[in-house]
Amino acid sequence: MSNQTEVIDKIKNGEDLFVRLGNNRGRHYVESYDLSTIVIFKDKFWGKFRNVHSPLGHDELAGVTPLSYAYNNFCNVVCTMSLSHGIQRFCSSRNYESINFLTKNKNREIWNSQNSSDLNLLKEAVNQADRMKLVVKGKNELTYIVPIHTVELYDDGLSFGLDTELDGIPFSLINFEYMESLSKKLDDVSAASPKEAYINTRYQSNVDFHLISFYLGKSGICQKAMGPDGKMQTVTFDYEYFKIYAEK
């Protein structure tokens, strides 16, 4: 638990999160991923990489279906998903020999909700083309960390617009009781299966996604959401605090 708390403290304070995986089937190898979008609830988190994984080898999926994987620190479930196609699949983390989370890069805080009238460091980061990220804690007790892809600073020195990358996760991932129940079921299947068996569910389609994308302007923060007409809209986001970090 102490290591989990340490990882969460570090990523809330601007460090980048990575996962290192070791496989346990066939020829051994290790791989690592930059988990750029993160959702935290108390001592639990999900971290996912960008929507860039090829569907090659995923025979159920046709055409160009960009995939992403999400990993967590509290149950034995890994989620494969496609935001653009509304698809999810779960597998057991016991399919891996090891899953380790690492943090690195002590990014610098350049702006926060306490000094939101001072744009000087933000302006400096834009002029230097620094990579930036938003850390924002909502009144719903979830903390989101997501890369920033656009910052517009206007020449009056006061007006600005900040947009994060468009991302999201299936709503089921933040139903923590459900995820722990699913983890138990996958553990039971894994225990009753040969070691070489790959434990996973089938792909599910028409899945509702929780969008993790924000717009920050002079009047506050809005979150992207899907409207009843199927079109994207923005809704006011009630937050406790936000911070902006930029690379050193």
pLDDT tens for 39-61 read 999 999 999 999 999 999 898 88
Q: Identify the pLDDT of residue 238.
A: 96
Cβ neighbours of residue 157 closer than 8 Å, sequence gap 6 or more: 119
Locate tokens 């998903």: which residue? Answer: 81
- How many Å apart are CA 172 and CA 91, to the nearest integer? 14
- Helix residue spans in the chain (DSSP H): 2-12, 120-127, 176-191
Q: In which element (H, E) is residue 108 found?
A: strand 108-112
Phi and psi dihedrals of 19, rounded to 5?
-120, 140
Q: Give pLDDT tens digits for 213-241.
A: 999 998 899 999 988 888 999 999 999 99
Taking alpha carbons only, the member of 105, 92, 59 closest to residue 203 is 59
- Average confidence (pLDDT) over 179-190: 97
Phi-psi region of 22 (alpha: psi -120 to 50; beta: other; left: phi over 0): beta
Q: Identify the pLDDT of residue 33.
A: 98
**Exposure string for 26-51, b = 16+ CB within 10 A, e = fewer:** eeeeeeebebbbbbbeeebbbbbbeb
Taking alpha carbons only, the member of 43, 68, 245, 248 closest to residue 164 is 245
pLDDT class for 2, splitting at 50, 70, 90?
A: very low
Q: Give pLDDT tens digits for 113-151.
A: 987 778 899 999 999 999 999 999 999 899 999 999 999
- How many Å apart are CA 215 and CA 117, to the nearest integer? 17
Token reading at 143 = 């903390």
Q: Chain-wide mean pLDDT for the chain?
A: 93
Percent of the chain with pLDDT over 90: 81
Neighbour tally for 220: CB within 10 Å: 14
Lowest mean pLDDT among 67-71, 81-85, 111-115, 162-166: 111-115
pLDDT of 97 over the 70 cut = yes
Taking alpha carbons only, the member of 67, 58, 69 closest to residue 85 is 67
Token reading at 150 = 């656009």
- Average confidence (pLDDT) over 187-194: 94
Taking alpha carbons only, the member of 143, 173, 183 closest to residue 41 is 143
203 residue type, one letter = Y
Q: Identify the pLDDT of residue 64.
A: 86
For residue 34, how far is the Cα from the chain centroid?
10
**Burial degree of 128 (CB within 10 A; 0-12, 13-18, 19+):** exposed
